[in-house]
Amino acid sequence: MSSVQTGFGGGFGAFFGVVVAAALVIGGLFVASHHASPCPTCHGSGKCPLCGGSGKGIVYGDCMYCGGKKSCPKCGGSGWEFK
């Protein structure tokens, strides 16, 4: 039996699986944050407290159109906005 088969048989493959999954999640959030739509309140001017002055909107959180009241078509009534 080779050392590769021994390592993966001993649980080393599970470790690599967790590392790859974490990298995919972090990469996905990084890409999503760079493609977020402009803040609907200041429209990208960066002068409002909702977006923290970035003007870029949010990746996830309370819907900035209905304020989490769950009554708008942008968030689909969930109160959460995902971009």
Cβ atoms < 10 Å from Cβ of 63: 23
Q: Containing H/E element for 82? A: strand 80-82
Largest Cα span, the chain = 63
Half-sphere exposure at residue 16, Cβ-oriented, CA atoms within 13 angstroms: 8
User: What's residue 83's pLDDT?
Assistant: 46
Q: Across the strands, what pairs with 62?
A: 80
Can you read off the two tokens belonging to residue 45? 């001017």
Query: What does the pLDDT read at residue 25?
Result: 85
pLDDT digits (tens, 9 = 90+) for 5-22: 665 566 666 777 788 888
- Looking at residue 52, the DSSP 8-state letter turns out to be T
